[in-house]
Amino acid sequence: MWERQNIWLHYVKNIIACDVPSAIFLALYLRQNNMNKNYAAALEVVDLQRYKVIKQKNKVKAALNDAINTPFIFFVGKN
- pTM of the model as a whole: 0.51
Are 14 and 31 in contact by the 8 Å Cβ rule? The answer is: no
CA nearest 34: which of 47, 15, 53?
15
For residue 11, give the amino acid letter. Answer: Y
Mean pLDDT of 44-49: 88
Residue 57: which residues within 8 A CB-CB, separation 6 or more? 40, 41
Query: Residue 47: beta bridge partners?
Result: 52, 73
On average, the pLDDT of the chain sits at 76
Pick the more confident residue, 60 or 37.
60
Q: How confident is the model at residue 2 (pLDDT cuts 50, 70, 90)?
A: very low
Higher pLDDT, 5 or 54: 54
